[in-house]
Amino acid sequence: MRITIAERLAVLLVACVASIATARAETTQWLQYVPGGLEARAITTEAACPSARVNGAPAAMTVRADRSAAFPVLTCALRVPASATAVAIGDVALRLPPPVARRILVIGDTGCRLKGKVVQLCNNVADWPFQAAVAQATALKPDLVIHVGDYYYRETPCPAGIGGCAGSPYGDNWSSWSADFFAPGAALLHAAPWVLVRGNHETCRRGGLGWSRMLDPRPVDPATPCLPMAEPFTVPLGGITLVVMDVATAREDAVDAAAAATYRRQFEGLAQLGRGPVWLTMHRPIWAPFDATRTPVIGGNKTLAAATDGAMPQSVSLLLSGHIHAFQAESYDGDRPAQIVAGNGGDKLAETSPARFDGITVDGVTVKYGRGLPNSFGFSVLERRADDGWTLTDHDVQGRTLMTCRLAGRSVSCN
């Protein structure tokens, strides 16, 4: 593979920026939703957890996960009281959520792919543009960031002779997680509270140790370094309840009966969340097409489809997912919730994902209306309109608008 002079300069620039960031950024801090509220988190190379302040008063962070050989950093946590009006870790003030979320950023599948012969040029911002997307997304000042899963992708070494990924770390360790997510995402981590969804790359056989230590909303169990499937939890958005569901291990090609029974119970439990609309975020979509050129269409999730049959409450109006490396917006026959796929945050794009797919059938469910952007990196923004409805905009990594959609009930339509 030939590397142009421009690409070599880009590699050197990224390396210099990363080196400076590593030398200075000894602590990474953020706010994330957990069951029951908000938690402040920090990862530090220092000997102890950083100082914190809540409403101007000192507050002690506790060690969530101690150092290990693979993770020579402390992960620290502090539960944020509902009365908090200001939270800071060290000298970094963290933005608290407003009572009503009006601008919500959705991004997913952000890491750089290194797995066997499938290689991304992690040192090349054109080939792996997550950090560019972060800069544009941060400038929009979202009230909330929803990451729909898959943070860790550097699973195997960069092959010899490929300068675009030379020197990249790999494996489920701090160096890989820092390179894939924490270093390029630092500005956005400070800019707004996060909802972190577990992806299939964060299962226990892949990036599960890093997930459990650093991002999992649940407490760490020292006896179980990587925790399996989690129960759903809720996040208030102001008139809308967001439910976070862990479907990282949901089998796609066949029905896993035991898992389907668990997911069915969780879907049925959504009916107990009150009268307001419910948005459900989970990494794997249920009926989204990966490749619509084949017969039958490749896509969907047989385990989740079996669990959903007759169990999705009417209050659920929107599904937010990733997993397919593209942007998609679709609604279905049969009065099912609309689906948004925002899996175009940085990993190799799914070139077979369709652009227009009205009328196709995925696992027996017909797409009434479907639009997609199969070949563009970016992120999506949900904005509350004056009539309390929502507009969805998909942006590329330069911040340009690529598609605008309107949500109405369980339907979506795009320009």
Task: Tell me what the mean pLDDT of segment 78-107 comes to.
Answer: 97
Return the pLDDT at 297: 86
CA atoms lying within 13 Å on the CB side of residue 110:
30
Work out the mean pLDDT of the chain and round it to a whole number.
92
Task: Tell me what the mean pLDDT of segment 261-282 comes to.
Answer: 93
Quote the tokens at residue 146.
């929803």
pLDDT of residue 390 exceeding 80 = yes
Task: Tell me what the mean pLDDT of segment 157-182 comes to.
Answer: 97
Task: Tell me what the mean pLDDT of segment 329-351 comes to.
Answer: 96
Q: 13-17, 120-124, 125-129, 304-308: which range is least confident on average?
A: 13-17
Torsion region of 141: left, alpha or beta (phi above 0 gives left; psi -120 to 50 gives alpha): left
Asked if the peptide bond before residue 296 counts as cis, ω within 30 degrees of 0, the response is: yes
Return the pLDDT at 13: 41
pLDDT of residue 405 exceeding 50 = yes
- Fill in the amino acid letter for 33: Y
Q: How far is CA 129 from the centre of its chain?
A: 15
Strand residue runs (E) in 292-364 = 298-299, 316-321, 327-332, 338-342, 361-362
Distances (CA, A) of 35 to 92, 155, 219: 24, 30, 10
The 10s digit of each residue's pLDDT in 217-266 is 999 988 888 988 999 999 999 999 999 999 999 999 999 999 999 999 99
pLDDT of residue 146 exceeding 60 = yes
CB contact at 8 A, 179 and 111: no
CB contact at 8 A, 191 and 93: no
CA atoms lying within 13 Å on the CB side of residue 360:
25
Quote the tokens at residue 13.
């620039």
pLDDT band at 10 (very low <50, low <70, confident <90, very high): very low
Quote the tokens at residue 353.
């994902």
Q: 16-20, 106-110, 118-122, 156-160: which range is least confident on average?
A: 16-20
Return the pLDDT at 301: 97
The fraction of the chain above a pLDDT of 70, given in percent, is: 94
Task: Tell me what the mean pLDDT of segment 71-87 comes to.
Answer: 97
In this structure, the number of other CB atoms found within 10 A of the CB of residue 161 comes to 7
The 10s digit of each residue's pLDDT in 16-45 is 434 433 444 489 999 999 999 999 999 999
The contacts of residue 221 (CB under 8 Å, 6+ apart) are: 227
Neighbour-count burial of 95, counting CB atoms closer than 10 A to its CB (0-12 exposed, 13-18 middle, 19+ buried): middle
Strand residue runs (E) in 223-304 = 233-236, 241-244, 278-281, 289-291, 298-299
Q: What is the DSSP string of 374-404?
A: TT--EEEEEEE-TTS-EEEEEEETT--EEEE
SS3 category, 125: coil
For residues 307 and 251, what is the distance between their CA atoms, to the nearest angstrom? 12
Angle at 49 between CA 45 and CA 51, to 5 degrees: 120
Q: How far is CA 223 from the centre of its chain?
A: 27
- Fill in the amino acid letter for 10: A
The fraction of the chain above a pLDDT of 90, given in percent, is: 86
pLDDT of residue 160 exceeding 60 = yes
In this structure, the number of other CB atoms found within 10 A of the CB of residue 307 comes to 27
Task: Tell me what the mean pLDDT of segment 158-184 comes to.
Answer: 97
pLDDT of residue 274 exceeding 90 = no
Q: 9-23, 215-229, 264-278, 306-320: which range is least confident on average?
A: 9-23
Return the pLDDT at 293: 81
Q: Is the dihedral of CA 191, 201, 218, 52 positive or negative?
A: negative
Q: Is the dihedral of CA 167, 168, 170, 174 positive or negative?
A: positive
Return the pLDDT at 4: 44
CB contact at 8 A, 120 and 168: no
Task: Tell me what the mean pLDDT of segment 362-382 comes to.
Answer: 96
The contacts of residue 265 (CB under 8 Å, 6+ apart) are: none
SS3 category, 180: helix
pLDDT of residue 5 exceeding 70 = no
SS3 category, 225: coil
pLDDT of residue 388 exceeding 80 = yes
Return the pLDDT at 15: 41
Return the pLDDT at 104: 98
Minimal CA–CA distance to 362: which of 280, 414, 301?
Answer: 301
Return the pLDDT at 12: 39
Distances (CA, A) of 349 to 216, 322, 327, 359, 374: 26, 12, 10, 24, 7
